[in-house]
Amino acid sequence: METRIDEIADGIYRLSTFVPDIAPPAGFTFNQFLVVGDAPLMFHTGLRKMFGLNRDALARIIAPEQLRWIAYGHFEADECGALNDWLAAAPQATAAQGATGVMVSLNDFADRPPRPLANGEVLDLGGGKRVRFIDTPHTPHGWDAGVLYEESTGTLLCGDLFTQLGKGPALTTGDIVGPAIAGEDVFHYSSLNPDMGATLRSLAELSPRTLALMHGPSFAGDGAAALRALADNYDGRVTSALKEVMSDRVAA
Ligand SMILES: [Fe+2]
Ligand SMILES: [Fe+2]
């Protein structure tokens, strides 16, 4: 396996590893994002067993010990499994996540004290880069779920939102909603909940110019339209699931 590096927005690098054995024959990508400011931040740590691969890839952009922040969307092996390996490699780095995630998992899991982020809180990374943490509880999954929005480039670091199969380009202007719907149909990875649509539409209000997918290509274009289309699809899924429950109850 190799990790490919692309700059998908000014100063934001995508480190992408394609794993053909997951969901064959399409395969599956794992992406991390490095936001280069005076205090560089990485979003997602990657799987613990991929740490060496990802560290060597990051080292082609900056020295790993230069990292100051390690953030992620929710507690899961691909999002934060290698966190303590990174904390060891970057002695001045601090793990950061939403207050729920810190309380539930990170206070215990991280080898150094983490930094909780309030909903809407901005970390100023210097060099013009500012990242805002936004709580998205249970969307797509995890009580502690959240995303990061880099304000200067209008880049939404989406985590698992829009997850798709296959090995796409680093950056696309094509459709990412159809492949995300297909990905949901295969994995059923989202925790369908009545707030999903509203959560996705609130992200659309940011009008992101780039959507940085953890599992899929990054998207350059009308991010708000893509988020609203995804919200509509999940509203449909939630509504039909509820209708099924209600009709089962009536039948019982
Ligand atoms: Fe996940
Ligand atoms: Fe993920």
The domain limits of the chain are: 3-251
Which tokens in the block code for residue 216? Answer: 């899929």
CATH number of 3-251: 3.60.15.10
- The answer, yes or no, to whether residue 249 has pLDDT greater than 90, is no
Per-residue model confidence (pLDDT) at position 134 = 98
Q: For position 151, what pLDDT does the model report?
A: 98
Tokens of 154: 């209008």
Q: Which residues make up the environment of ion ligand 2, defined by Cβ < 5 Å?
A: 78, 160, 214
Angle, to 10 degrees, between the axis of helix 177-187 and the axis of helix 223-251?
A: 40
pLDDT at 75 exceeding the cut of 90: yes
Residue 94 has pLDDT above 90, yes or no: yes
Whole-number Å distance, alpha carbon 251 to ligand 2 midpoint, is: 38
Angle at 35 between CA 210 and CA 218, to 5 degrees: 30
pLDDT of residue 252: 80
Residue 110 has pLDDT above 90, yes or no: yes
29 Cα: distance to centroid of ligand 1 (angstroms): 13
pLDDT at 60 over 90: yes
Average pLDDT over residues 194-218: 98
> How far is the centre of ligand 1, averaged over its atoms, from the C-alpha of 32 (Å)?
13
123, 131 contact by CB (below 8 A): yes
CA–centroid distance, 113 to ligand 1, in Å, is: 23
Q: Assess whether pLDDT exceeds 90 at residue 133.
A: yes
Ligand sitting nearest the alpha carbon of 75? 1
Residue 250 has pLDDT above 90, yes or no: no
Task: Please state, in angstroms and rounded to a whole number, the distance separating the CA atoms of residues 142 and 129.
Answer: 27
CA of 80 to the centre of ligand 1 (A): 10
* Residue 163 alpha carbon to ligand 2 centre in Å: 8
Closest ligand by atom to 74 CA = 1
pLDDT value for 199: 98
Cα of 77 vs centre of ligand 1, distance in Å, is 8
Hey, is 59 helix, strand or coil?
coil
Q: What is residue 1's predicted lDDT score, i.e. its pLDDT?
A: 87
Does pLDDT of 3 surpass 90? yes
- Cβ distance 105 to 114 under 8 Å? no
User: Is the per-residue pLDDT at 21 higher than 90?
Assistant: yes
Whole-number average pLDDT of the chain: 97
The pLDDT of residue 107 is 98
Local confidence band at 99 (pLDDT 50, 70, 90 cut-offs): very high
What is the Cα–Cα distance from 148 to 158, expressed in whole angstroms?
7
Cα 141 to ligand 1 centre (Å): 6
Confidence of residue 132 (pLDDT cuts 50, 70, 90): very high
Tokens representing residue 214 in the block: 């953890």
Contact between 165 and 186 (Cβ < 8 Å):
yes
Torsion-angle region of 207 (φ positive above 0: left; ψ -120 to 50: alpha; else: beta): left
CB 177 within 8 A of CB 224: no
Nearest ligand to the CA of 79 is 2
Q: Which ligand is nearest to the CA of 32?
A: 2
Ligand closest in space to the Cα of 31: 2
Write down the pTM of the prediction.
0.97
- How high is the pLDDT of residue 105? 98
Q: How confident is the model at residue 251 (pLDDT cuts 50, 70, 90)?
A: confident
